[in-house]
Amino acid sequence: KNQIGEGEVCYVEGSEGDASDADRHRCASLQKRLDAAMDQVGELERSLEEAEERRLAAEERANDAELKSAEADSNRNSVVDENKMEIPRDLRIKLAETERANRELQRENDVLKSRVQDMIQHKERAATSQRRAQQLEQELHHVTRQLEEGKEAQLGWMNIRREIVGEGLIGE
């Protein structure tokens, strides 16, 4: 008896022998692979949530920067149009810093979007691996059942042969 997934158990039927040991080993190996895949899915989900939070924060900062930039543009245009004066140096510096911050946030947002896509692909691969592990477990159970049925049939034929030999109908 080996654990397969959350709440699932693999029963390896059969007699004590090489075949059942191999089945137990294979079942244990499948369990380890499934556990590793589930751990990876959990990590990817946590990382995805963190990336989404960072993306939202970056979008918020970008929106704030855009508003500040728009206000600065509007102020700059009104100051230049009304007074025909040069934009104050501190305002130009602040505008340049805001635009730089906006570009930086946009790059960060693009990187986070890319990471989200990667994590989605990893999650899909993990789900595929989990389905494959379940399929392999079913195949293992089916093959084990066939092996047991074959052993039972072989024992039946051996008993029939012993009876025929015992009655002297054929020689050993």
Encode 127-143: b = buried (16+ Cβ within 10 Å), e = exposed.
eebbeebeebbeebbee
> HSE on the CB side for 21, CA within 13 Å?
3
Place of tokens 């090489």: 18
Q: Write down the H helix ranges in the chain.
A: 18-83, 89-166
Q: For the chain, what is the largest distance between any 2 Cα atoms, rounded to a whole number of angstroms?
A: 126
129-154 pLDDT tens trace: 999 999 999 999 999 999 999 999 99
Task: Kindly tell me if the per-residue pLDDT of 28 is higher than 60.
Answer: yes
pLDDT band for position 50 (cuts 50, 70, 90): confident
CA 123 to chain centre: 3
DSSP state, residue 16: S
pLDDT at residue 3 greater than cutoff 60? no
Cα–Cα distance between 73 and 16 in angstroms, integer? Answer: 82
Whether residue 21 contacts residue 49, with contact meaning beta carbons closer than 8 Å, is answered with no
Contact between 133 and 37 (Cβ < 8 Å): yes
Measured CA to CA in angstroms, residue 34 lies from 72, 110, 121, 127 at distances of 56, 33, 18, 10
Return the closest-CA partner of residue 20 out of 153, 150, 147, 149: 147
Q: Average pLDDT of the chain?
A: 82
For position 39, what pLDDT does the model report? Answer: 86
Predicted confidence at residue 75, as pLDDT, reads: 67
Lowest mean pLDDT among 45-49, 83-87, 111-115, 133-137: 83-87
DSSP 8-state code for residue 168: T
